[in-house]
Amino acid sequence: MARVHRSRAPGIALFVLGVAVGCAPEALEVAPGLADDPVRYMEEVAYRRGVLERDLTESNNEYAQERLALYGLEGVGWDVLPPGDAPSLPLSLDEADLLAAGADLVFEADSAARLEPESIPATDSEWLDLGRRVFFQYPLRPDPIYTALVGLPGALEETGFLQDDGVWVGLRLVDDGAGGVAVAPTCAQCHASLQPDGSLSAVLSNRDMDVGLARLLVMDTQEGGLPPELDSTEAADLERLGPGRTDVLSDQEFNPYALPDFGGLADLPFLHHNANWHHRGTATLAVRCETLFITADSGRTRIPRVLSWALARWFQSLPAPTPLDEAPGPEAKQGQQVFYDSGCANCHVPPLYTSDRVVTVDEIGTDPGAGQSAVRWTGNYRIPSLRGVGRTAPYLHHGAVETLEMLFDPERTEPGHEFGLALTAEERVALLAFLRSI
Ligand code: HEC
Ligand code: HEC
């Protein structure tokens, strides 16, 4: 695979990009004519194209090139794919037990419904309700890995799947084409978690989800490993992935990404750890998610657009994670001063504790893999919001630092983000108290 970007002069070219893209005050303005509008998104191909071109921050990586070649074009490419929206059913704990015991289940097509509504939602609360259902219920392509995983007793618990109300969250039953059942993941597989009050939400992602282990468990049961089309990753990489991380790229490099949290997503100026999308509203997210559904189905179907808009609208409504420490003591106040004195607020600008600028891979010094991958390079990382940061471990784009204490430990061996490493022990304790209070 060509890796043209590596031969660039990153120090110069990418820094200029960072300044041009990240610091421009117009970065968050919506171009005239492309304001959020579900009807235009659903009906006008030029609107969808406009949003794509407006919001990709780097048009020359493989991720962008694929979308620019296939999306938002009249009469060709992804716009003319048949809509997906296969009927699906929840996977109850009982049914999973039966499958693990080797039973053959029949797909009860009569009780399975599609999600696409007869008419578009009339109120914001109807949009939100539909979006939530898409998140938890829209089946991605049935995946032989998950079908096999459900067949292994105890494997769903072991790999971090959640249970709620007697069903497995993040998996759906679909027709296997022969009247039996196959298992399809949903977006909730990685992006849902149980809140401290026991409710199911997407404010925080599923930090127990171990997709590498899921593959390994299935590989162990298949003679000679997985067939080549399923086995894109080395076993060693799957093992070191661990819970709460995924390698979302289709290259052969090991580029783990921490699962991002959707709480407060509406306020982030960029999408993805490497900031490859400007985030200017629901339309950005709708196009980003629509293209994900298409690539997740290898370009065979597209999600009905009323559903991708509803999902995007729902994502935008999720509140930021709350502070871990809701009754902070005086130390937190001192820590706020340390935060300002150490220059943290230059990048993590209150009250959102993020900023509409990006930081080059060289400047931040953390693992450059995800920022420079052949598939999605931008040369940059976004500045994560620190709201609720006490709850969002592990840290950095690749989740390589397990706790806040470790991030500011002067002995830390994980490279990069050297801010706050030269504090006195007292200042450090105060800074940590402050971070837990925001
Ligand atoms: C196997 C785990 C997994 C599944 C399943 C999954 N995602 Fe993600 N998602 C990730 C990871 C990892 C990232 C971070 C990627 C990056 O930063 O480049 C991500 C990033 C995102 C983002 C950007 C968030 C941000 O903070 O910028 C959105 C939006 C998103 N996913 C939506 C979805 C939707 C919609 C689905 C269902 C079609 C889905 N995801 C399914 C792992 C997953
Ligand atoms: C030059 C801009 C900049 C400065 C200054 C800065 N940060 Fe960051 N911070 C970043 C970036 C960029 C990341 C993400 C790096 C990555 O993912 O590889 C980050 C990540 C973090 C994270 C991890 C968040 C997460 O969700 O993974 C914390 C916590 C944090 N910074 C706190 C601080 C504190 C405290 C200070 C001051 C001592 C500080 N930062 C100074 C840019 C900055």
pLDDT value of residue 31 = 60
- Ligand 2 centroid vs 333 CA: distance in angstroms? 20
Percentage of residues in the chain having pLDDT higher than 70: 89
Q: What mean pLDDT comes out for the span 279-283?
A: 97
**C-alpha distances in Å from residue 234, one per residue of 123, 217, 256, 355, 405:** 48, 14, 13, 37, 32
CA–CA dist 435, 333 (Å, integer): 10
Mind listing the pLDDT tens digit for each residue in 165-177? 999 999 999 999 9
Rounded to the nearest integer, the mean pLDDT of the chain is 90
Pocket test for ligand 2, best of 347, 367, 372, 378 (most atoms within 8 A of CB): 347
Query: Using one digit for the tens of pLDDT, what is the confidence trace for 144-158?
Result: 999 999 999 999 999
Q: Is the CB of 181 under 6 A from ligand 1?
A: no
Q: Which of 116, 141, 140, 118 is nearest to 130 (CA)?
A: 116
Q: Which of 348, 321, 315 is nearest to 128 (CA)?
A: 315
Output the CA 404–ligand 1 centroid distance in Å.
23
Q: Which of 392, 434, 438, 394 is nearest to 414 (CA)?
A: 394
CA of 309 to the centre of ligand 1 (A): 16
Residue to substitute in 292, 376, 395, 396 for testing ligand 1 pocket (most ligand atoms within 8 angstroms of CB):
292
* Ligand 1 proximity of 371 Cβ (cutoff 6 Å): no
Contact 164, 189 (CB under 8 A): no
Q: What is the mean pLDDT of residues 47-57?
A: 97
Share of the chain above pLDDT 90, in %: 80
CB 168 within 8 A of CB 91: yes
Widest CA span of the chain, in angstroms? 66
**Residues 6+ away with beta carbon under 8 Å from 47:** 34, 37, 40, 41, 283
- CA gap 299, 250 in Å, rounded: 15
**What pLDDT is stored for residue 118 in this prediction?**
96
- Going by pLDDT thresholds of 50, 70 and 90, the confidence category of residue 338 is very high
Contact 106, 98 (CB under 8 A): no
The structure tokens listed for 287 are: 């196009």
Per the structure block, which two tokens stand in for 78? 């992804």
What confidence score (pLDDT) does residue 211 get? Answer: 93
CB contact at 8 A, 62 and 77? no
From 324, 344, 417, give the residue whose CB has the most ligand 2 atoms within 8 Å, as the site to mutate: 417
- pLDDT bin (cut points 50, 70, 90) of residue 255 is confident
For residue 40, how far is its CA from the centre of ligand 2 (angstroms)? Answer: 38
Q: Is 185 in the pocket of ligand 1 (CB under 6 A)?
A: yes
What pLDDT digit, counting tens, does each position of 342-373 carry?
A: 999 999 999 999 999 999 999 999 999 889 98
Residue 226: pLDDT band with limits 50, 70, 90: low
